[in-house]
Structure 1
Amino acid sequence: MIIVNFIFMCIIFGTTFLAIKVGVDAGAPPFFSAGSRFVLAGLLILIWMTWKKKASFSLLLRKEMWLIGLGLTAGTFSLLYWAEQYVSSGTAAILSATAPIVIILLQMVMYRDRVERSKIVGCFISLAGVAVLVLPQVSLGSDRLWLLGCLAILLGQLFYAGGALYSKKVISRFSDISPIAQNAAQMCCGGVMMLVLSVCSERVHLESLLSLQAIGSQMYLIVIGSMVGHTIFYWLVANTNPLFPSMWLYISPFIAVGIGSLLYNEALSIYTIIGAVLTIVGLVVVNTGLLGARKRETFLAKGISPERAAHRSSEG
């Protein structure tokens, strides 16, 4: 069941980038689409959690939820939705996969954290992947809006990194409140921010929202992307460990590139493939040390030394 859910989650997260692309290409305003998606998804989850007596709507009044919502939802997805007007869904997925790299770089610069050499090497590999993906297009005289879209997605990962680091502190501080409820609340708060941004910067035409593509995109993103996908993610965290579900980042970009090419005729160049491979290889290198640390913690918690565990494994 764990493997089935993991595969299902990877497919969901890999296809959401194309769903966003379909919606914005159909004429749906990006900020309004993103804001309404997360407000509705967050409210539905929060209503369910409140009915189960595992949360309260008072969460929406906490400033922490608004700050997390600014980082994880508003800052990240407003830029992603805007960028996908000009960038393919596959490229958007690859650039979005750099989030863990940005988190490490932010820890190094702002918090002066000591980082293992392997993680630094992994960061450089992933950044090389981004360079291979972006720089050839720039040299070929690619559209300026395409380049701005790529930069916007990377800036969004900076928002995500800040939100992720801050949310880690908040989750530990509010350990008596379900992380699922906290995530629902921050989605609502971030969604409201994007709706305000939409009111200030977009013209929302009813006909653009009622097209089959726009409605289908929004329903898929609300129900499958935000509700089902994130519920599976937290279920996997609860039934495995915090690292295993995050491995979707190794798989979903390739799913996004393939689905975009097959179903939406997005261009698939050698630079896209090489950029994707380098970005994911960098992520694997970055997380190798973390995976080893998690395993060691698990063995020690069970009173088994890692050396003894390795000996058991070699014995079959």
Structure 2
Amino acid sequence: MTTQTKAYIALAIVCVFWGTTYLALRIGVMHFPPFLFSAIRQCGAGLLLFLWMAVTGNLEKLSLKDIGRQALPGFLLITLGNGTIGWAEMYIPSGLAALIVCIMPVYIVIFNFVLGREKNLLNPKIITGFLLGCFGIVLIFRDNLADLGKSEYLWGVL
């Protein structure tokens, strides 16, 4: 199998798993508390990664220092990232949750500009990429954009 074929297979796997994340969360929070469901999903994914590392002979390369460096970001990602999205999906449709998360890079660019961290924001390539990204989000989620203003979705949108 060529490197390019492996890359396409890896991309397809990422697209399937990432693309179904919000639907899986929506279904999961109907049966489990959102933070518990997120923890179960992440622990399962972590177990699969450990098994993969063991099978490929990379587990012995993992040090306690590596684990320690990743513990806090991992906990915050599960709790503040997936956990809060799971909680929000008790109140909003999964498509709207995906839209809100999809807009996150836009928030980061704006936040960095306001804080003065992004000195090169007026670069034509950055502006073009930013506008194309925003246009793509609107194009893909145009049917869900009106949902952002629905009062019954307020708790989930916040």
TM-score by length of 1: 0.38
2:101 paired residue number: 96
Q: 2: CA distance between counterparts of 1:125 and 1:132?
A: 17
2:151 paired residue number: 142
Mark the CA change 1:22 to 1:7 in structure 2 (over 3 Å): closer, same or farther. Answer: same
Aligned ranges 1:125-140 → 2 under 5 Å: 126=134, 129=138, 133-134=144-145, 138=149
Mark the CA change 1:73 to 1:103 in structure 2 (over 3 Å): closer, same or farther. Answer: farther
Question: Any conservation in 1 of the 2:35–2:79 contact (CA below 8 Å)?
Answer: no
Mark the CA change 1:72 to 1:109 in structure 2 (over 3 Å): closer, same or farther. Answer: farther
Query: Does 1:17 find its partner at 2:26?
Result: no
TM-fit CA distance, 1:102: 2.7
TM-fit CA distance, 1:134: 4.7
TM-fit CA distance, 1:131: 9.8
TM-fit CA distance, 1:24: 1.1
What CA deviation, in whole Å up to 9, does each residue of 1:66-109 have, x standing for no partner? 33224433211111100111111122122211232233223323
Calculate the aligned-residue CA RMSD, in Å: 3.3
Equivalent residue of 1:85, what SS? coil
1:206 paired residue number: none
Query: Does 1:119 find its partner at 2:132?
Result: no
Q: 1: CA distance between counterparts of 2:88 and 2:113?
A: 28
Q: 2: CA distance between counterparts of 1:82 and 1:149?
A: 7
Query: Does 1:31 find its partner at 2:23?
Result: no
Q: How many residues align?
A: 144
What CA deviation, in whole Å up to 9, does each residue of 1:188-234 have, x standing for no partner? xxxxxxxxxxxxxxxxxxxxxxxxxxxxxxxxxxxxxxxxxxxxxxx
1:45 paired residue number: 49
Unaligned runs of 5+ in 2: none
The structure whose residues are more often helix, as a share, is 1
Aligned ranges 1:242-257 → 2 under 5 Å: none
Q: Determine which structure has greater relative contact order: mean sequence separation of CA pairs < 8 Å that are 6+ residues apart, divided by chain length.
A: 1
Query: Does 1:105 find its partner at 2:106?
Result: no
Equivalent residue of 1:28, what SS? coil
Mark the CA change 1:102 to 1:70 in structure 2 (over 3 Å): closer, same or farther. Answer: farther
Q: 2: CA distance between counterparts of 1:125 and 1:48?
A: 34
Mark the CA change 1:77 to 1:5 in structure 2 (over 3 Å): closer, same or farther. Answer: same
Question: Any conservation in 1 of the 2:29–2:90 contact (CA below 8 Å)?
Answer: yes
1:3 paired residue number: 8
The residue type paired with residue 41 of structure 1 is A
Moved beyond 6 Å, runs of 4+: none
TM-fit CA distance, 1:28: 0.7
Aligned ranges 1:215-294 → 2 under 5 Å: none
Q: 2: CA distance between counterparts of 1:9 and 1:124?
A: 22
Question: Any conservation in 1 of the 2:26–2:90 contact (CA below 8 Å)?
Answer: yes
Identity of aligned residues (%): 28
